[in-house]
Amino acid sequence: MKIALLGTGAVSRVLAPAFLYLGHDVVVGTRSPLTTLDSNTAYARLATRYSALGLCTFADAVPDAELVVNAIDGPSCVAALTSLAPALAGRVLMDVSSPFDWSLPDAVLDPVNTDSLGERLQRALPKAKVVKTFNTLAAEAMAQPSAIGDGDHTVFVSGDDASAKAMVTELLRSLGWKDVLDLGCIRTARATEMMLRMWIDASVALGTHMFGFKIVR
Ligand SMILES: NC(=O)c1ccc[n+]([C@@H]2O[C@H](COP(=O)([O-])OP(=O)(O)OC[C@H]3O[C@@H](n4cnc5c(N)ncnc54)[C@H](OP(=O)(O)O)[C@@H]3O)[C@@H](O)[C@H]2O)c1
């Protein structure tokens, strides 16, 4: 499958090699490829190691992709993706973004309670098929679920389009996820985005980012 990973942060740097390993064609989107290769040393190292990994602008990454991953900084992602609306029409948009408002101390969430970034993206991109997932996990845990509790923990999906959720669920399963819980429509992204307050406090209490949430039936 052709996958466009939008973003050059920790999430893309974890998912890109994992998707390549699974045999997918992966291109990474950034605002300026030259600036990224010059100033993002972690990304530049990844690019050197994985020559099959393409790097281009956000706009150039989207048109050929069957799946687009939003791994752009939370406060910036709605505006950044709205500018790509025509190219994103009809595409599956896997959204991993977190609504932390970094301008405020102590990990304040915005939006919260009555809205979510997942819903904002779906409203801004009505022709795209937004699937919220992975946002309750540290980047390092996304592609190696078995590294935590032998893989016995839960990843969530939220979205309005059943076929888009099926595509994303299949991709998650190929990464080793056993417990994929479909919470329902994109409105349920509020629930997983609000888990981030718990994620922050649990990571401090545990002294690690490598943990997961588990729904016990
Ligand atoms: N890191 C984690 O463990 C983790 C876990 C769960 C969810 N998330 C969420 O996943 C997303 C990606 O996280 P991350 O840690 O990999 O990276 P990040 O540092 O949150 O974001 C990096 C990306 O955001 C882009 N960006 C920043 N400001 C922008 C702007 N004004 N306009 C357009 N693009 C802009 C950057 O573009 P350039 O490439 O041009 O610099 C870069 O590609 C975020 O929403 C984050 O909250 C992260």
**Ligand 1 centre and the CA of 213: distance in Å?**
22
What local confidence, expressed as pLDDT, does residue 103 receive?
87
Residue 98's nearest CA partner among 89, 108, 88 is: 108
Ligand 1 is surrounded, with C-beta below 6 A, by 7-12, 30-31, 36, 71-74, 76-77, 80, 96-98, 135, 138-139
- The β-bridge partners of 100 are 109
What local confidence, expressed as pLDDT, does residue 5 receive?
98
- Mean pLDDT of the chain, nearest integer: 97
Per-residue pLDDT of 164-180, as tens digits, reads 999 999 999 999 999 99
CB under 8 A, 24+ apart: contacts of 36-40: 36/8, 40/8
Nearest CA to ligand 1 atom 31: 76
Residue 198 CA, chain-centre distance (Å), reads 19
Is the pLDDT confidence value at 99 over 90?
yes
Question: Which atom of ligand 1 lies nearest, measured to the CA of 134?
Answer: 6
- The β-bridge partners of 159 are 131
Query: Per the structure block, which two tokens stand in for 113?
Result: 């309670």
Q: Which of 41, 72, 208 to mutate to test the pocket of ligand 1 (most atoms within 8 A of CB)?
A: 72
Nearest CA to ligand 1 atom 29: 76
Is-above-0.95 flag for pTM? yes
Nearest CA to ligand 1 atom 5: 138
Name the pairing type of β-strands 129-133 and 154-159.
Answer: antiparallel
Residues of the chain with pLDDT > 70: what percent? 100
Is residue 97 within 8 Å of residue 69, measured between CB atoms? no
Is the pLDDT confidence value at 102 over 90?
no
Indicate the CATH number of 2-206 among 3.40.50.720, 3.40.50.1370, 3.40.30.10, 3.10.450.30.
Answer: 3.40.50.720
Is the pLDDT confidence value at 104 over 90?
no
Query: Per the structure block, which two tokens stand in for 88?
Result: 């994103």
Is the pLDDT confidence value at 216 over 90?
yes
Length of the chain: 217
Per-residue pLDDT of 29-69, as tens digits, reads 999 999 999 999 999 999 999 999 999 999 999 999 999 99
Domain map of the chain by residue range?
2-206
Rounded Cα gap, residues 159 and 95, in angstroms: 10
- The β-bridge partners of 130 are 93
Is the pLDDT confidence value at 4 over 90?
yes
**R_g of the chain, CA atoms, integer Å:** 16
